[in-house]
């Protein structure tokens, strides 16, 4: 019989409910080692916990106090999706309660907060811990990763990883916590989107030794939602250029933009090499592109993909794959690894990768604010 992992959810907002959807349709996946069951939920906002009570029959505990959820012996693992300033308080408490953790990015609002989380991880080695990042689970992204791993790229010319949003182009969009430095963190858009763009480069071993960064706060004020105007302090857009010394040395360009005209939620990765190149963007979610060059014609090939997912599913291979599917695949990777598997070869972001992200973003913030090139100080 499939093993059941009993989950508590702390933070029932946007992402908490996405997990509920992934778990509710676990039957979509074939031959999984284990399945998640949400037994406890916690949020300060009771309308959100009411949503869980109405829609998730397995929920037995509803609370506004996350300590009560952590005291529940029926909870094996916790998904925590709360604003960034709470990560370094709540994640260590989850580990101190002996629960496994999938924590949302950026895994602490800054490097100091991340170090506090890492200290708690080190103190509780029996707890299995990963950080959320779902977009590399698109089949097209997996194809790019497989292509890079399977052959010689030659000299790497450039790698660009981008996450582009456009909703902040609207100056009338009211402020929310992601535009507040004390809740989101001084990284601004980089804290919000940085782990998404770094997951694949870090997994492939491409760690920049130094970075420069162009930071933009295009809309320094926003409506407060109550008829007034408030300061919007966070960086809207960041373009980071890192220098990676492998493969003859190459630029790693990371774009984390919240003001990207025309892009609702475009995540992309593009790798250009002298022998082989590949790219994927969620703008064309079923296609990936690749080129192999041996001195002859330079021809990009485009392949239509369907539901050729890392974790096999009931959907036929010709049909489309989407955002909720990427999230479910990420959850499958987490649950599989927690249950002793290898996540079918592509595990969720590790705490070490999250810490490397912080080293890069800390250097990028400093570089962008002082218009300098900064060395990246990775944790030892
Ligand atoms: N992986 C992704 O694609 C993705 C997308 C969006 C957000 N996120 C991450 O998810 C996290 C949450 O973001 P969101 O967009 O879901 O935010 P959200 O504002 O929709 O939800 C956060 C929830 O946390 C609750 N909360 C705040 N303090 C709490 C406390 N002390 N105890 C219990 N609940 C509390 C809030 O009431 C709110 O409902 C962030 O770390 C964010 O970076 C990830």
DSSP for 298-365, written as a single string: ---EEEE--S--SS-BSS-TTS---HHHHHHHHHHHHHHHHTT--GGG-PPBPHHHHHHHHHHHHHHH
What sections of 173-216 are H helices per DSSP? 181-184, 189-203
Q: Which of 101, 82, 47 is nearest to 183 (CA)?
A: 82
The atom number, within ligand 1, closest to the CA of 66 reads: 32
Distance CA 283, CA 137 (A): 15
Query: Which tokens go with 125?
Result: 């080695």
pTM of the model: 0.97
The atom number, within ligand 1, closest to the CA of 133 reads: 1
Quote the ligand 1 centre to 323 CA distance (angstroms).
18
Quote the ligand 1 centre to 176 CA distance (angstroms).
12
Residue minimizing CA distance to atom 4 of ligand 1? 15
Quote the ligand 1 centre to 196 CA distance (angstroms).
16
> What are the residue ranges spanned by the domains of the chain?
3-131, 138-321+334-370
Residue ranges with strand state E in the chain? 3-10, 34-42, 61-63, 77-80, 100-103, 129-131, 156-164, 210-216, 221-223, 229-231, 237-244, 250-257, 266-273, 276-281, 287-292, 301-304, 374-375
Quote the ligand 1 centre to 36 CA distance (angstroms).
20
Residue minimizing CA distance to atom 36 of ligand 1? 11
What sections of 185-312 are H helices per DSSP? 189-203
pLDDT reported for residue 161: 98
Residue minimizing CA distance to atom 39 of ligand 1? 13
Q: Which of 9, 15, 92, 196 is the pocket-test mutation for ligand 1 (most atoms within 8 Å of CB)?
A: 15
Distance CA 300, CA 290 (A): 6
Decide: 307 and 315 in contact? Cβ < 8 Å: yes
pLDDT reported for residue 56: 98
For 347, counting Cβ atoms within 10 Å of its Cβ (0-12 exposed, 13-18 middle, 19+ buried), the class is middle
Q: Which of 80, 81, 108 is the pocket-test mutation for ligand 1 (most atoms within 8 Å of CB)?
A: 81
Query: Which tokens go with 57?
Result: 């029959």
Q: What are phi and psi of 308, to 5 degrees?
A: -100, 75
Query: Which tokens go with 205?
Result: 């071993």
Count helices and strands in the chain by DSSP H and E runs:
10, 17
Structurally, at CATH architecture level, domain 138-321+334-370 sits in 2-Layer Sandwich (3.30)
The packing angle between helices 14-24 and 46-55, to 10°, is 10
Q: Which CATH superfamily is 3-131 part of?
A: NAD(P)-binding Rossmann-like Domain (3.40.50.720)
Residues of the chain below pLDDT 50? none
The atom number, within ligand 1, closest to the CA of 192 reads: 43
Ligand 1 binding pocket (C-beta < 6 A) is 10-15, 42-45, 48, 66, 81-84, 86, 104-105, 132, 134, 192
Distance of CA 50 to the CA centre of its chain: 27
């Amino acid at each position: 019989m499939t093993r059941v992992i009993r989950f508590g959810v702390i933070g029932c907002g946007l992402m908490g409910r996405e997990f509920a959807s992934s778990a509710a349709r676990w039957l979509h996946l074939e031959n999984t080692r284990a399945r998640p069951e949400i037994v406890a939920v916690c949020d300060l906002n009771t309308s959100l916990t009411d949503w869980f009570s109405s829609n998730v029959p397995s929920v037995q505990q509803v609370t506004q106090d996350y300590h009560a959820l952590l005291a529940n012996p029926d909870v094996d693992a916790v998904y925590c999706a709360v604003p960034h300033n709470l990560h370094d308080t709540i994640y260590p408490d989850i580990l101190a309660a002996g629960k496994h953790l999938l924590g949302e990015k950026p895994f602490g609002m800054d490097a100091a907060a991340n170090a506090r989380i890492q200290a708690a991880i080190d103190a509780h080695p029996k707890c299995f811990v990963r950080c959320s990042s779902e977009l590399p689970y698109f089949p097209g992204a997996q194809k790019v990763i497989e292509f890079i791993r399977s052959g010689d790229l030659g000299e790497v010319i450039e790698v660009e990883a981008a996450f582009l949003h456009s909703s902040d182009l609207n100056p009338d969009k009211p402020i929310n916590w992601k535009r507040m430095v004390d809740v989101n963190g001084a990284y601004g858009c980089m804290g919000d989107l940085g782990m998404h763009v770094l997951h694949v480069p870090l997994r492939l071993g491409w760690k920049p030794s130094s970075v420069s960064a162009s930071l933009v706060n295009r809309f320094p004020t926003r409506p407060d939602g109550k008829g007034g105007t408030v300061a919007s302090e966070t960086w809207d857009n960041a373009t980071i250029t890192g220098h990676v010394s492998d493969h003859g040395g190459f630029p790693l360009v990371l774009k984390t933009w919240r003001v990207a005209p025309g892009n609702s939620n475009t995540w992309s990765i593009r790798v250009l090499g002298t022998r082989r190149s590949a790219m994927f963007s969620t703008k064309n979610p079923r296609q990936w592109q690749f080129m192999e060059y041996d001195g002859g014609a330079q021809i990009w090939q485009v392949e239509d993909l369907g539901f050729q997912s890392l974790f096999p599913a009931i959907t036929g291979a010709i049909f489309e794959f989407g955002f909720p599917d990427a999230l479910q695949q990420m959850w499958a990777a987490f649950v599989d690894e927690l249950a002793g598997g290898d996540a079918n070869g592509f595990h969720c972001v590790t705490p070490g990768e999250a810490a490397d992200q912080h080293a890069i973003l800390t250097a990028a913030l400093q570089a962008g604010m002082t218009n300098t090139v900064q060395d990246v100080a990775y944790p030892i």
